[in-house]
Amino acid sequence: MIRLAPSILSADFSKLGEEVNTIEEAGAHLIHVDIMDGHFVPNISYGATVMKSLVGKTKLAFDVHLMIENPDLYIDDFVTENTEFITVHVEACPHLHRTIQHIKSLGIKAGVALNPATSLSVLDYIIDDIDMVLIMSVNPGFGGQNFILSALDKVKELKEIKDITNSNLLIELDGGVNLNNVKEIIDAGVEIVVAGSSVFNVDNIEKRVKEFLETF
Ligand code: DX5
Ligand code: ZN
């Protein structure tokens, strides 16, 4: 099953609850939560308080994408009854194994994100311990950037590894996804599709979510 995870980074924060209800009713599967610290990435987004304001307002699970330095200090803040995934960047985790074990000890699925220039080989000794790999198809930090094509090759390679090892690992992709490229992205092996600006920066969010789901 392919899942759509709209990123609320591109939502209108003055009516966040409303827009989350709209994507939920339209059939989106997850809420992608982009946390940026202005250090690991050159932009600051929002923190756990904003995410937690949605607890009790939606049944959708949170897919937390931490684009921050020292994520170990903040992981616990993102644990809520809605939190399904917490993903950390391999580039920000010198003790990745320990970080992953910590996320799992909290009863949350653990993901590892790779920047566009990071090789899949960093996963060699952690792949059996994680639930998801997030392939970045833009340099993290901003919504609305152009899709970096080499991400597709990376997804295909990861899919081969997944098939050989017969693992339950999920493949997620994030950045520059739109209605024109989503089919190719899914064909390459992506199971969780993140989309920010192409879901929220439109006149009719509900219609756009449904258009995405029709391509799945
Ligand atoms: C980028 C974030 C993305 C972003 C995607 O750093 O991790 O989740 O919101 O936005 P779009 O879909 O507009 O590229
Ligand atoms: Zn993201």
Ligand 1 test: best mutation among 4, 8, 9, 200, most atoms within 8 Å of CB? 9
Query: Counting atoms of ligand 1 from 1, which one is nearest the CA of 9?
Result: 9
Identify the H or E element spanning 209.
helix 205-215
Answer for the pair 130, 110: CB distance below 8 angstroms, yes or no: yes
pTM for the model stands at: 0.98
- The pair of three-digit structure tokens given for residue 68, joined into one six-digit string: 């921050």
3-state secondary structure of 31: strand
Q: pLDDT in tens for each of the 216 residues of the chain?
A: 999 999 999 999 999 999 999 999 999 999 999 999 999 999 999 999 999 999 999 999 999 999 999 999 999 999 999 999 999 999 999 999 999 999 999 999 999 999 999 999 999 999 999 999 999 999 999 999 999 999 999 999 999 999 998 789 999 999 999 999 999 999 999 999 999 999 999 999 999 999 999 999
The residues near 153 (Cβ < 8 Å, ≥ 6 apart) are none
Cα–Cα distance, 72 to 84 (Å, whole number): 17
Select from 125, 150, 127 the least CA-distant residue to 139: 150
Cα–Cα distance, 186 to 162 (Å, whole number): 15
Calculated CA dihedral for residues 13, 93, 192, 38, nearest 10 degrees: 20
pLDDT of the residue at 18? 98
pLDDT of the residue at 165? 86
For residue 6, the CA-to-ligand 1 centroid distance in Å is 9
pLDDT of the residue at 66? 99
For residue 66, the CA-to-ligand 1 centroid distance in Å is 12
For residue 9, the CA-to-ligand 2 centroid distance in Å is 8
Which sequence positions are flagged as catalytic? Answer: 34, 174
Where does ligand 1 bind, in terms of residues with CB under 6 Å? 7, 9-10, 32, 34, 65, 138, 140-145, 174-177, 194-198
Cα–Cα distance, 154 to 162 (Å, whole number): 12
Reported for 149-154, long-range contacts at CB under 8 A and 24+ positions apart, including other chains, are 150/116, 151/116, 151/175, 152/184, 152/185, 152/188, 154/114, 154/120
What's the Cα-to-Cα distance from 87 to each of 63, 136, 172, 194, rounded to whole Å?
8, 12, 11, 13
